[in-house]
Amino acid sequence: MVGIKDVASLAGVSVATVSRVLNQHPAVRAETRARVLTAVDRLAYRPNAVARSLRTHQTRTLGLVISDVLNPFFTELARSVEDEARALGYSVIIGNADEQPELQDHHVRTLLDRRIDGLLVSPTDGGSPLMLGAARTGTPMVFVDRWIPGVDVPVVRADGRDAIRDLVAHLHALGHRRLAIINGPAATTTGSERVEAFRDALHAYGLSLPAEYVGQGDFQADSGRKATGRFLDLPRPPDVVFAADNLMALGAMDEMYARGLRVPEDVALAAFDDIPWFVHTDPPITAIAQPTGELGRTAVRALIDVVEGRTAASVTLSARLVARRSCGERREQTS
Amino acid sequence: MVGIKDVASLAGVSVATVSRVLNQHPAVRAETRARVLTAVDRLAYRPNAVARSLRTHQTRTLGLVISDVLNPFFTELARSVEDEARALGYSVIIGNADEQPELQDHHVRTLLDRRIDGLLVSPTDGGSPLMLGAARTGTPMVFVDRWIPGVDVPVVRADGRDAIRDLVAHLHALGHRRLAIINGPAATTTGSERVEAFRDALHAYGLSLPAEYVGQGDFQADSGRKATGRFLDLPRPPDVVFAADNLMALGAMDEMYARGLRVPEDVALAAFDDIPWFVHTDPPITAIAQPTGELGRTAVRALIDVVEGRTAASVTLSARLVARRSCGERREQTS
DNA sequence: CGCTCGATTGGAATCGATTACACGCAGAAG
DNA sequence: CTTCTGCGTGTAATCGATTCCAATCGAGCG
């Protein structure tokens, strides 16, 4: 591998000078700069980022730890994060926790070992000592989508309260009265929040949310399927199942079809997180759409703010209802 | 940040010794090792991977450059790659080229600058000078899924020939005679190969593939939609559209429905790359399934073989047909 | 004419590890 | 009682950059 020394000797200058032209330092004579530059591309020299990072204490890299890459919501989030980071001159390393706290820790640890400049996390759980420690000891950090209460870290997320109220209104208008929800893990904020918002919205319509209508899932399709099975085994099964994420909604749909039920005639279905595929399912699924791309981009900007010494505030965007056919024929279309 | 020196002085030994225990070097007295270890966790010391890499010339990191993270096929590939790499003690940095050669180059360059140990690529195009150069100058490299002909780099991929023949047989048996294909970019091997295999299979059934039945797409949904539009505008439109990837199939389906056509009664649809969602679309889509996870894992093992100085051979796995309802009912069930 | 000053450039320390080599010491061998 | 061996450990060089500080040089100034 050709190093800065090779460039220096080809150009007949010192390594210090080469480094200067590489870093656009102004104090270099134009003629010298030109000589260095020709040497650089004659040798196809590329600076070693590892060495540079060691010296400068910065890697211009962000870490992103998400709970499940296979979930289209997170895939899209990851993509927007990378786009924005790249636009701002950073790279990103993605760690997929697969909803497992140990894996999440593994990635946080690896990322920290690599001395990434900042960490973007959508926590799978309530926070391991490792992650809490990193936050406390000043690793630039921002939570996105999910967060950990009580930790002093900016949060970029979407609030689904209003959209959930709209959803309940929509369901109520369609005549549904027995509404059930499949919850995410209690350790995630997105899990608990969504149930609460749902319960509140139901109350506003004089409906209640009995315990047997709250299913416990883990954000994976299979758990959605099982929870739905339990609902349908109930003496009085719900007439709508609302899944707290898209994968569980798919599982729910599987179970409904496996039992020969029709959607929405026999049971209705709605999901949190809208994804392109929901348009193509049979029937198209009513969902609450988060501004995913905006979430990712905002989170990156916030993180870079703290990385570069500015301060960042939490940001809450809002989600919106996208009514389709899985809850019955719609009366009005929400745009 | 606490460094190896801090550990050394707390433990009352030299940095060399600390480094030795960290790297399981045998020549350390047990008692010394214990002292170092306590110091290590009293200080919560973690070695700086950047410094270590500089010295050892290895990062234990693999780069993965894929054409489109949002395509579920690549998402799954990326996931399996990361899983296997982690199991073997490597990290992976994913670069999303978004089917754009310049972006692909950007990622290759960044990855190379970071001195990753090896590169896994699913090329978007015929190969930029940068990538070709990297291959020639000995950067450990393996192609996965797509490859670049004429470059001496192992390839791990799935061969769809047999599955495509099965597909054509299936279509023929269902009475379809006018079959069209939406191709990927000609610059990708997966693009050109699939058309060829398709044409060959047609010939075996005495059918031909007229030029107007070969649509040009770019592996994105929208191009699938447009190509389908052109097919349907033909005086004699095809009765089956076979899309060379899942996203284009989705676009094709959109166009069919937008024109009020029924699938499969009016037009049939099949896709290359099977994804979980195809089970839930209306109708479920017949597809050719690649052993995606196996592809990723095999590619990683091959790459690590070359990274660690062994040699790696190309591997070709095989794809298989998964018949569903988008091409019509099977014969066993209908008249 | 000597000196100060700004513009360029080079020398060398430094970042935080790894590791070749040397050293001290204890027991074995002669 | 030497000398030899090896084990355990420390010293210092090294990886490839960045950057502080000093040196050089010509020009402008008093």
Q: What CATH number has the domain bearing residue A192?
A: 3.40.50.2300
Q: Is the pLDDT of residue B166 over 60?
A: yes
Query: Is residue B250 within 8 Å of residue B73, measured between CB atoms?
Result: no
- Tokens matching residue A105: 């820790």
Q: What is the pLDDT of residues A161-180, one digit of tens each?
A: 999 999 999 999 999 999 99
Q: What is the pLDDT of residue A335?
A: 43
Q: What is the pLDDT of residues A90-111, one digit of tens each?
A: 999 999 999 999 999 999 999 9
Q: Is the pLDDT of residue A17 over 90?
A: yes
Average pLDDT of chain A? Answer: 95
Q: Is residue B53 part of a domain?
A: no
Q: What is the pLDDT of residues A220-277, one digit of tens each?
A: 999 999 999 999 999 999 999 999 999 999 999 999 999 999 999 999 999 999 999 8
Same domain, B255 and B274: yes
Same domain, B269 and B190: yes
Residue A286 Cα distances to A247, A252, A290, B161, angstroms: 14, 13, 13, 39
Rounded Cα distance, B70 and A142, in Å = 24
Q: Is residue A265 part of a domain?
A: yes
Residue B270 Cα distances to A100, B70, B165, B228, B230, angstroms: 36, 20, 13, 12, 17
> Residue B9 is part of a domain; what is its CATH number?
1.10.260.40
Could you tell me which chain B residue has the CA closest to the CA of A48? B113
Same domain, B71 and B180: no
Count how many pairs of residues, chain A against chain B, have C-beta atoms within 8 Å. 93
Q: Is residue B333 part of a domain?
A: no
Rounded Cα distance, A146 and B326, in Å = 38
A283 preceded by cis ω (within 30°)? Answer: yes
Same domain, B78 and B180: no
Mean pLDDT of A25-52: 96
Tokens 């047990």 sit on residue: B30
Q: What is the pLDDT of residue B335?
A: 38
Q: What is the pLDDT of residue A328?
A: 87
Best B52, B61, B90, B114 member to test A by mutation, with max A CBs in 10 Å, is: B114
User: Using 50, 70 and 90 to split pLDDT, how confident is the model at B330?
Assistant: low
Phi and psi at B301, nearest 5°, equal -60, -40
Chain-centroid distance of CA B174 in Å reads: 32
Specify the nucleotide whose C1' lies closest to residue B55 (CA): D15
Q: What is the pLDDT of residues B184-227, one digit of tens each?
A: 998 899 888 899 999 999 999 999 999 999 999 999 999 999 99
Q: What is the pLDDT of residue B75?
A: 97
Same domain, B180 and B150: no
Q: Is the pLDDT of residue A333 over 60?
A: no
Same domain, B8 and B85: no
Q: Give residue B307's domain range.
A: 58-157+292-317
Q: Is residue B328 part of a domain?
A: no
Same domain, A119 and A16: no
- Beta-carbon separation of B96 and A82 below 8 A: yes
- Tokens matching residue A177: 């009265």
Mean pLDDT of B120-140: 94
Per CB-CB distance under 8 Å, the chain A contacts of B50 are: 50, 53-54, 59, 114-115
Same domain, A183 and A89: no
Q: What is the pLDDT of residues B298-310, one digit of tens each?
A: 999 999 999 999 9
Q: Is the pLDDT of residue A186 over 90?
A: no
Same domain, B199 and B225: yes
What domain count does chain A have?
3
User: Using 50, 70 and 90 to split pLDDT, how confident is the model at A203?
Assistant: very high
Identify the bridge partners of residue A215 per DSSP, sorted by sequence position: A182
Percent over 70 (pLDDT), chain A: 98
- Tokens matching residue A224: 């959605």
- Tokens matching residue B314: 């190309």
Rounded Cα distance, A140 and A120, in Å = 9
Nearest Cα neighbor of B96 from A92, A228, A201, A118 is A92
Average pLDDT of chain B? Answer: 94
Could you tell me which chain A residue has the CA closest to the CA of B68? A79
Same domain, A165 and A274: yes
Residue B97 Cα distances to A70, A293, B9, B104, B166, angstroms: 18, 17, 47, 4, 32
Query: Is residue A67 within 8 Å of residue A74, measured between CB atoms?
Result: yes
Q: Is residue B331 part of a domain?
A: no
Which of helix, strand or coil describes residue B26?
Answer: coil
Q: What is the pLDDT of residue A332?
A: 46
Please name the residues in contact with B13: beta carbons below 8 A apart, sequence gap of 6 or more.
Answer: B32, B35, B36
Q: Is residue A328 part of a domain?
A: no
Per CB-CB distance under 8 Å, the chain B contacts of A276 are: 221, 250
Q: What is the pLDDT of residue A329?
A: 75
A237 preceded by cis ω (within 30°)? Answer: no
Q: Is residue B78 part of a domain?
A: yes
Same domain, B214 and B66: no
Query: Least CB-CB distance to B69: which of A50, A79, A113?
Result: A79
Q: Is residue A335 part of a domain?
A: no
Give me the helices (H) in chain A, please: 4-11, 15-22, 30-42, 49-56, 72-87, 101-113, 129-136, 161-173, 189-204, 221-233, 246-258, 292-307
- The amino acid sitting at B239 is D
User: Using 50, 70 and 90 to split pLDDT, how confident is the model at B333?
Assistant: very low
User: Using 50, 70 and 90 to split pLDDT, how confident is the model at B161?
Assistant: very high
Same domain, B229 and B148: no
